[in-house]
Structure 1
């Protein structure tokens, strides 16, 4: 080290360094920058680092360091940034550490620190980024944090901090995000928050906050996320929240709010998520909600006291995927206009006073997966909709007059009017003939559909001939124009537009002149692999043009050309699940709620492929790289290059496909493909989502362990440590999902559950936690 005494900057971050940090680094007295983050360093932090008096930036984050912070760090008086997050450090913070006059960024999240926060924090008034998430700090917040107006990003969530929230925090003109969730703060929310005009994200979830919501919050017009849930807040929802026109997510659930939903909410046109459940709100649901919330995909108004009828305008929420209005006092009939909500997957209208028949228009809602209409006053025939027909009896009970071909419900009676007498008698006297007639009509319709498919696919059609090949596109795109635009916008597939590479091709990002963003997968032009790539290309086209599901990647068009063969998909902003889990920062965005939703979305897609497609489709390569996430973190199954359409009259032997570690054990030696191969891969994926990385040895440990040992005991040591440990409610849901995953990993394929059963069980794992 002697020759390096004049070294000013040392950056070894993002490598695979192992072992302890050399104490000899303390001899590099000229160092101002020392970055060793994102390695596998272990052991204690050497006291000698505290000798580096010239240090301005010290980053040891994302390693496996343990023990306390050296007391010598209090001597680092020139520090501007100290990053120790995501290690195994413990003990209290020594006095003086972080108290540098120039300290701008102090990151201690994701460790095991205890004790109180040092009073020296923000001593110099320069602190901008302060994060201590997921530790065990307790006691009061330092007084000087109240006057630290330089703060921009503050994360105190997941600790045991206390104090009167109206006195601990002040007005912060530069604050962009603050998370105080899951602590023990009490008192009323101060009107001072209305002076933090740059605030975009304000979270106070899961504390002991009382009083009312100050109307001054409406001054924070840049707010995109507001979470006051799971507190003891009372009073009416202030109409001033209607001024938050940038708001995307709003949680007010689990409080004691009363009165009506303000009519001013009609201004919240960017709202995507709204949960005001478990309050004592009353009166009617505003009739303007459906006209205003055009982007809404999650609406929960359950466990309140809303009355009167369901407004028809609510049925105009075309993007809504979950609607929960249960446990209210709603009356009247279910509007037939409900079928407008074509994106709806989960509908809960239980425990109300709804009456009349269930509209037959529900039969048009092919995306509906789960319904609960229990404990109303409904009667008549259950709609011929899969969600209703597959619903458990618990989701239908408590209605006196429901009937239909559902287990547990009485069959509907045949009314013998003069006009309908002969029709009823025909079915009763000649049941065999009636069945034959139904079969004849079914096969006739099927034959017509098959003939039509030969000439034109309903989603994709040949739109243009091009020199050297053909362009096939959806009705929303012009073939020649699409081809020319993609070549132009990617500069003939320049590497700078490449966003990923797989076994059969590279994927590029392209922005069309219409403003649409698309992802373009271009086949490899490798002679010795051309036949294989072409097969995957055709296989993906064949599969994706036959299916359509919210959680399956959408194929816009494809081009088969002598120079460039490519497929054009919808562009999903967040990229692959694997990429998110491999990024320390992005993985933290995938909180437990999002991860449970990802698991459910993949289950829904596979259930659709296995049980709603005829013949069934087996993906054969389910893994985190092939799960893509959109801007809302909704999962989409992608990469159908190795997918297999099962032939019902065939043994379905095939060549080995998939990724090592995800392949079902029996497939490796039998080469026979069944739905249970995907089920095994799904089990591996679920554990990967929960652990945050490929589960590896954990798979064999759960297979070989005593079944009597509670899975929750094993999970505690392997859950992704980058997230706060889940609340008891969320932990219970994770345990249930983990048990399903372990059942999927059974070495006997016939003992694994079907994806249809899995998707039904998972719908019960609804978490209200956001982090």
Structure 2
């Protein structure tokens, strides 16, 4: 992925029947897509986004019965979308955006009842928006923008109650906006701009209590802006320009701060906005002065699984040079006083580490934590490793569980996870050996002046990297791995400042058949509230810690007592300016929208009810939608 690869895929790939997962996105690969890929009975994920593949989509893909993700955006694929895609009932994400596809959207899509993300934007699709899309009850993101669709917006979309993002812009859609769109209580982004919609703006839209961005510009909408828009306190962006609207603008924050560009080109709007005429006396009755607050509502259940149309960020592109062996080695039978699980020659490396650190002199110590101290060790091979020497009090309660966990962790290969090379145990010392990352920790960077060099784009990438790592640990490892100590001190950076999750000293392998009871571990201020009294380890503990971490990255410091205000249902409201790092310039409009979305997601993650929190897979898919 993103490796600047050119040319065609090897012919042998066509018959690679054992293929499980394939990512080729972000290269310059070419070839006829129907001749490059075969039938893969075990394949669950394919991404060829942003290449130069051409040709038509084969029916072979519908024979890949385990496929859950198909990403083919940003190529030169032509022809129709195969109706046989409807047979992929297990499919969760389909992205065919930015190609040359023609024809209608297959009605057979109604059978894909597990679909979470459907992105068909920027093609030449025609016909109507199928009514049957309303039967996709799990759908979170629907993007059909920049096509040639006509007819009306089906009211059945109001049945997709988990929709988080709906984009039908830049088509030829006509008639009125359906009232039933107002039923989408988890909808945060609605874009119906650049169509031929008529009639009045339905007052039902004011029921969209989670709506952050509304764009219905460049249509033929008429009449007054509904007075009930006064109550839409979550809105942070609105564009009503180039319609035939008239009358006073509502009295809430988004309209108070709106620019004339978002209102221009209308018939006769008025209000206290530079560029608009003042309303006639008595025409504009105020409802009072509502608090100017950006409320990021809690009921963002539909925020689970936005993403996918640009593909997830890179991983597997960088490998730490293996130290001397790629085979996992157990040495528990070699000696009564020595044991190791490692990707290296355990006993010699154990003694070498003792030698190069002068038996763990303070000079070589680069960090301390609850379970032990970390030392930097440069080996004769030229490799530098981080060695976490465990305190004697950190010895495992259940040796077999601990060793099974270490074996699992040494098998992890992910760009955003610090590689664990192994574990060595002796009567005098027990330590974990990790790859060494020279970029320092997130906690250190946020606490000093270098934080100013971490602009909004870099901070978004940090958040994405951590999300991808946790999603991998929770959903791609068997059994799943819970970190249990996600905090800014455990996020390290490599030489390219890619964020990597470190320190698995307190992690625990989850057995789905066990109660997962455990000792208290983690960092104060990041622990999920239920952990304090249940002592039960679940993936949702990590989700909570991740939410706190996201707030810290955006704010530039731990949110502290603000967590209570953000998660309470009281009338106390938190403004966006209170949640951002003032050492950075005010974010521009586009990045501001993204930061607002991420903050909304973070607040969902720190909900006191674990069942309300999204999964890390959901979070990673949402974030992956943004470049």
Task: Return the match for 1:498 from 358, 361, 365.
Answer: 365
Separation in structure 1 between the aligned mates of residue 69 and residue 380 of structure 2, nearest angstrom: 34
Partner of 1:599: 463
Q: 1:540 to 1:648 in 2, by over 3 A?
A: closer
Q: 1:598 to 1:549 in 2, by over 3 A?
A: same
Whose relative contact order is higher, 1 or 2, with alpha carbons under 8 Å and at least 6 apart?
A: 2
Separation in structure 1 between the aligned mates of residue 46 and residue 384 of structure 2, nearest angstrom: 26
Q: Secondary structure at the match of 1:348?
A: coil
Task: Return the match for 2:486 from 602, 608, 622.
Answer: 622
- Aligned-residue offset at 1:535: 9.1
- Aligned-residue offset at 1:686: 0.4
Partner of 2:382: 515
Separation in structure 1 between the aligned mates of residue 27 and residue 77 of structure 2, nearest angstrom: 12
Q: Secondary structure at the match of 2:340?
A: strand
Q: Provide Cα deviations, 1:33-53, integer angstroms capped at 9, x if missing partner.
A: xxxxxxxxxxxxxxxxxxxxx
Q: Secondary structure at the match of 1:518?
A: strand
Task: Return the match for 2:78 from 372, 377, 391.
Answer: 377
- Aligned-residue offset at 1:458: 8.4
Q: Are 1:761 and 2:622 counterparts?
A: yes
- Aligned-residue offset at 1:518: 1.1
Separation in structure 1 between the aligned mates of residue 467 and residue 546 of structure 2, nearest angstrom: 8
Q: Are 1:470 and 2:339 counterparts?
A: yes
Q: Provide Cα deviations, 1:576-613, integer angstroms capped at 9, x if missing partner.
A: 2212212222x233222221111111111222222223
Separation in structure 2 between the aligned mates of residue 394 and residue 720 of structure 1, nearest angstrom: 37
Q: Are 1:748 and 2:609 counterparts?
A: yes
Partner of 1:415: none
TM-score by length of 2: 0.53
Partner of 1:390: 92
Aligned residues of 1:374 and 1:399 also touching (Cα < 8 A): no
Partner of 2:356: 489
Q: 1:715 to 1:584 in 2, by over 3 A?
A: same
Partner of 1:348: 49
- How is 1:174-253 mapped onto 2 (pairs within 5 angstroms)? none
Aligned residues of 1:651 and 1:672 also touching (Cα < 8 A): yes
Aligned residues of 1:466 and 1:480 also touching (Cα < 8 A): no
Aligned residues of 2:374 and 2:389 also touching (Cα < 8 A): yes
- Aligned-residue offset at 1:692: 1.1
- Aligned-residue offset at 1:642: 2.5
Task: Return the match for 2:415 from 542, 550, 556.
Answer: 550
Task: Return the match for 1:583 from 434, 438, 448.
Answer: 448
Q: Secondary structure at the match of 1:751?
A: coil
Task: Return the match for 2:434 from 549, 565, 569.
Answer: 569
Q: 1:486 to 1:337 in 2, by over 3 A?
A: farther
Q: Secondary structure at the match of 2:360?
A: coil
- Aligned-residue offset at 1:691: 0.8
- How is 1:344-743 mapped onto 2 (pairs within 5 angstroms)? 347-349=48-50, 353-355=54-56, 357=58, 372=73, 376-377=77-78, 389-392=91-94, 398=101, 460-462=328-330, 465=334, 468-474=337-343, 477-525=344-392, 530=395, 538=403, 541-545=406-410, 547-585=412-450, 587-704=451-568, 714-743=575-604
Aligned residues of 1:310 and 1:332 also touching (Cα < 8 A): no
Separation in structure 1 between the aligned mates of residue 626 and residue 537 of structure 2, nearest angstrom: 30
Aligned residues of 2:441 and 2:492 also touching (Cα < 8 A): yes
Separation in structure 2 between the aligned mates of residue 358 and residue 472 of structure 1, nearest angstrom: 46
TM-score by length of 1: 0.44
- Aligned-residue offset at 1:674: 2.4
Separation in structure 1 between the aligned mates of residue 549 and residue 495 of structure 2, nearest angstrom: 21
Aligned residues of 1:377 and 1:400 also touching (Cα < 8 A): no
Task: Give 5+ residue unaligned stretches, structure 1.
Answer: 1-295, 301-308, 339-343, 412-456, 767-771
Count of residue pairs brought into register by the alignment = 398
Aligned residues of 1:350 and 1:374 also touching (Cα < 8 A): yes
Aligned residues of 2:357 and 2:364 also touching (Cα < 8 A): yes
Aligned residues of 2:551 and 2:579 also touching (Cα < 8 A): no
- Aligned-residue offset at 1:763: 0.9
Separation in structure 2 between the aligned mates of residue 577 and residue 521 of structure 1, nearest angstrom: 19
- Aligned-residue offset at 1:649: 2.5
Task: Give 5+ residue unaligned stretches, structure 2.
Answer: 13-21, 39-44, 115-324
Q: Are 1:333 and 2:52 counterparts?
A: no
Partner of 2:122: none
Separation in structure 2 between the aligned mates of residue 715 and residue 549 of structure 1, nearest angstrom: 33
- How is 1:219-298 mapped onto 2 (pairs within 5 angstroms)? 297=2
Q: 1:665 to 1:402 in 2, by over 3 A?
A: same
Q: Provide Cα deviations, 1:671-723, integer angstroms capped at 9, x if missing partner.
A: 333222211111101001111111112222222377997x7xx2223311222
Aligned residues of 1:372 and 1:396 also touching (Cα < 8 A): yes
Separation in structure 1 between the aligned mates of residue 604 and residue 571 of structure 2, nearest angstrom: 11
Q: 1:724 to 1:595 in 2, by over 3 A?
A: same
